[in-house]
Structure 1
């Protein structure tokens, strides 16, 4: 497969998920949608709709009854009809970026046209023509033509006249369809009447990010493949609330599995945990929280959702609350043996992860995710502004230039 065709396939698969988002935004309240189940996209509600998508960045050309992609789709739908897998509430949608050839009867499938007899006949004529051409080539010992088109033609020919009529009556063609480049605009159009203008662009970006991950979780069977309209609307409401002036978005709370843990280790943060014999599990949770907090802080700043001064003030509060625990611990343990120092320091480390976020005034009133405090403490530990062992400063601080010279 060429790089071009591989890229086109990847874009096609990605488009399936994004098209499903657009369709679910258009759907009724109790509808559900899935990707790569019954069809490319399947909308399940009072009416069941199967979508076959033909994605392309090139919209040149016209669709007619000789189109290989159309016949590939007809094969799929004809087999379903033949096996009695559809009922009167099921309809088929063929989505394409192409225009329909005005001289072709397929134009009737893009309209609410009840008279589709000519489409039934024209498809039959094309299927029979392909069959004759293949048989002629076979008899003359030539290369058999129409390898891509034939499976669809064969499936159509295998249907009874009544089944062909039933199939065609269930088909609608959506020509001139948008492509992957248009997704942001398509989503924006569908939410503009319910989402304030000032946050709409950021909301669309985050909604698409969430949807992309939600689809992947479904494909991995880590979540239901069916996504309900209610689930989608609930997340939009969450985003509206988070993007309001008094709240902040949570972009990394459920993304701990993405943290590059090894990249977070190797510095003072890990050394601080070693000083109190924290072990591997504490290092792992520290690395994850630090990755989450750092990325979240950077994203808020990049998107002007927060003033840098607010984060500086948060860090000062973190240091002040920690210092109260640290100074009393250091005083109480003066003269104690190393094991006692280490055990108490480990308890302080655990406090920073398990309880501190409940004691420190949050960065904003509506913010309640613990990883911001947990991870910010680990960054402060990296910078040696806080620590866990009573003597962390003396043991980890780099010697001054004068001290190095004396050595």
Structure 2
């Protein structure tokens, strides 16, 4: 990161990190087309490292403002050469199997070193690029020498940019440049996002492309953080294929996505004691541990249903239809319970019956909103949402008792 601590520098740095993640994700979708025998790692040997078919692709990324040019003396170019030259010297980079990429949003002027090092199958001339870089290095050395007397530290600081390159013999410099591909005028972070959205549309259709990509990016970003923190190895093709496929399957017509962070929600009973569904559990004398579970299931279901609604993932009237199914399943059991109890049942008998009915909700009621969406908390949590609206209940006299409890004091 630059020594510049202004908000603009911080924003550019953050944009660069996000760009790195998006380009890595785009590379994964590219590689997936060839199968699953590959790996991708971030901040390993380079910004991005891709291993595939016996080749190691090392990627340097530069996200620059519009109008930026990558000339023969540009620091971005020399910083990349420094990284690669250092890797060659340390025997970390094997030029027989390495492919070196500099992906930059900057423009390479015609007949510049960067232009001569363009992608394969384009006009390339590594020898001409080496000549131009040698001239640029000589000019930089002359400038450094002129500044040495006035500021000796400037020589040391500036030489760091070129030192690793200078240590390579000329044949090795040429050999390195033959492996370099400079991809200039690259799409910026926003255009890269649009390309990813296009890949998502191919997988799930344009209607669901955005929510699908949001979930895939969420998984990928967390996985990349784990990999960069050494908590996990590189992202493998098999792993990415499974993550991609499982999320794509959640957008089939018979399914709905269940978000990982929603599954992690726990809920705190103390924050929801005034909820009607919690009071319903109190009428049935449900223990505190089970109340805590109920709050968790309610929170997960309500959060997930809100996301489906906000993401336009539900069909018109689908929630109403689902709640009707739940209510009708409950009604059959509730009315059977009341018939068995009769009108003169003791409180103990009514409480026992309420517990039995609620036990059905906890352990047996598995009514998916769609055939492929079988997460249990959707059913149990939705029952609690209905209980909160007094559409269903567990105690035989839940409606009358809760109406009394919830009635404002001044209206009694």
Q: In 2, distance between residues paired with 1:237 and 1:401?
A: 51
When normalised by structure 2's length, the TM-score is 0.82
Q: How many pairs align?
A: 395
Post-superposition CA distance 1:65-120 (Å, at most 9, x none) = 21112222222222211110122111111010111021322211104366412323
1:280-312 residue CA offsets vs partner (Å, 9 max, x unmatched) = 644443334333322333344445443343321
Distance 1:240 1:404, change over 3 A: same
Using the alignment, how far apart are the partners of 2:372 and 2:108 within structure 1?
52
1:24 and 1:400 mapped to 2: Cα distance? 55
Structure-1 residue corresponding to 2:293 = 285
Deviation of 1:49 after TM superposition, in Å, equals 0.5
Aligned to 2:127: 117
Inter-CA distance 79–203: structure 2 relative to 1 (3 Å threshold): same
Contact 2:117 2:125 in 1 (8 A): no
| Aligned pair partner of 2:162 in 153, 157, 173 | 153
SS in 2 for 1:144: helix
Runs of 4+ in 1 over 6 A off after TM superposition: 400-403
Question: Hey, what does 1:94 align to over in structure 2?
Answer: 102
> Gaps (5+ residues) in structure 1?
none
Task: Say whether residues 1:85 and 2:85 are aligned partners.
Answer: no
Find the counterpart in structure 2 of residue 41 from structure 1.
Answer: 48
SS at 2:370 equivalent: coil
Go from structure 1 to structure 2 and tell me whether the alpha carbon gap of 1:163 and 1:345 turns closer, same or farther (over 3 Å shift). Answer: farther
Distance 1:81 1:201, change over 3 A: farther
Say if 2:382 is the partner of 1:372: no
Find out whether 1:19 has 2:27 as its counterpart: no
Report which stretch shifted further, 45-54 or 387-396.
Answer: 387-396
Q: Contact between 1:54 and 1:96, CA under 8 Å: does it hold in 2?
A: yes
Question: In 2, distance between residues paired with 1:263 and 1:136?
Answer: 72
Q: Secondary structure at the match of 1:306?
A: coil
Distance (whole Å) between structure 2 residues aligned to residue 203 and residue 141 of structure 1:
56
Aligned residue in 2 for 1:265: 272
Query: How far has the Cα of 1:209 moved from its partner?
Result: 2.9
Distance 1:181 1:368, change over 3 A: same
Q: Is 1:298 the equivalent of 2:306? A: yes
Change (3 A) 1:129 1:304: closer
Deviation at 1:226, TM superposition (A): 2.8
2:255 is aligned, of 242, 248, 254, to 248
Q: What SS class does the counterpart of residue 143 from structure 2 fall into?
A: helix
Q: Separation in 2 of the partners of 1:146 and 1:101?
A: 30
Shift of 1:159: 2.1
Give TM-score, length-normalised by structure 1.
0.82
Counterpart Cα distance in 2 of 1:126 and 1:146: 18
Match of 1:62 among 60, 69, 72: 69
CA–CA separation in structure 1 for the residues paired with 2:358 and 2:407: 31
Q: Does the residue aligned with 1:152 lie in a helix, a strand or coil?
A: coil
1:172 maps to 2:181: yes
Cα separation, partners in 2 of 1:44 and 1:308, compared to 1, 3 Å: same
Retained in 2: the 8 A contact 1:34–1:226?
Answer: yes
* Aligned mates of 2:105, 2:10 — CA distance in 1: 19
Partner of residue 222 from structure 2, selected from 195, 207, 216: 216
Query: Once the 2 structures are TM-superposed, how far is the Cα of residue 41 of structure 1 from its aligned partner?
Result: 1.4
Counterpart contact for 1:97–1:177, Cα < 8 Å: yes
Residues 321 and 131 (structure 1), Cα distance of their counterparts in 2 relative to 1, 3 Å cut: same
**Displacement of 1:43:** 1.1
Deviates more, 1:387-396 or 1:312-321: 387-396
- In the TM superposition, what whole-angstrom CA distance separates every residue of 1:133-164 from its partner, at most 9, and x where no partner exists? 334423334662794x5423111112233332
Does 167-176 or 280-289 show the bigger shift?
Answer: 280-289
Kept in 2, the 8 Å contact 1:130–1:146? The answer is no
Shift of 1:63: 0.7
